Amino acid sequence: MRCGVCFRHCDLEEGKTGVCGVRTFRDGRSVSLSYGRITGLALDPIEKKPLHRFHPGSMILSAGSYGCNLRCPFCQNFEISWSEEALSGNFSRIVPPEELVIAAEKLRARGNIGVAYTYNEPLVGYEYVRDTAKLVHEAGMLNVMVTNGTASLEVLDELLPYIDAMNIDLKSFDARCYRRLMGGDLAMVRDFISRAVTVCHVELTTLIIPGENDSETEMEELSAWVSGLRDASGQVIGKSIPLHVTRFFPRFRMIDRKATEVAAVYRLAEVARKNLDYVYTGNC
């Protein structure tokens, strides 16, 4: 069958997975092999997601699985996102939704407000996010998702009733760069962001990579588009959507590049501030 989670529409066969490494064909439908398999669990400051305007000063239990539908050569978490070892499942342990919620509740005394689905790409295993997030809400806690935004609106709409905040990567504003560098689809990410902002709190992150997405023209176009985003009633709300402009460091398959100059990050942040009220710089 053909998977409908993202733009790739991988043809799935019994016993084989799509590009993400986790979705397969079983009992006549697309399922995730990573359901309930956790590779990372930590209590983090909410600002680390990064979310600067959503319950600042609080903590959140961060949970990650494995698998990703992009192929970013600068990935910071490639060991759990799409390395052979990660996709084998050997790095993970099974944590059912109920068990993760119990862990989150036990951490309330340490300032925990809920669960963040992060580290790898949570959308490739969205069923686990959906099922856990329902229980988190029933426990009176909050859900955060950190995502590349590369999923269909049908998948997003299954999650939106239970997600309170997202940080979404807007890795470039050039469709060719998205396809060539990350193997992604800018149009799908734009549609995802446009829908998400109508329902929950959204902050965006753009990692500045020298020679790829570091022009003032591109940042002007990106921030201008964000500033025009609208809520469910059609009112323009984009100027108040926070944008995190962050610094690239040599990593994974891009160790031949120098780290982004700090001055370049600040310069592009100033360009974005012409269109947006909340622009933050990171790793500077």
pLDDT given at position 280 = 98
pLDDT given at position 79 = 85
What single-letter amino acid sits at 68? C
- Sites in the chain below the pLDDT cut of 70: 89
Cα–Cα dist 86/90, whole Å: 6
Of all residues in the chain, the percent with pLDDT exceeding 70 is: 99
pLDDT given at position 53 = 98
Q: 77-85 long-range CB contacts below 8 Å, 24 or more apart? A: 77/119, 77/120, 78/252, 80/39, 80/40, 80/119, 80/120, 81/120, 81/121, 82/20, 82/21
pLDDT given at position 226 = 98
Give φ, ψ of 105 to 5 degrees: -65, -35
pLDDT given at position 89 = 66
pLDDT given at position 103 = 98
Of 83, 45, 91, 53, the C-alpha closest to 67 is 83
pLDDT given at position 191 = 98
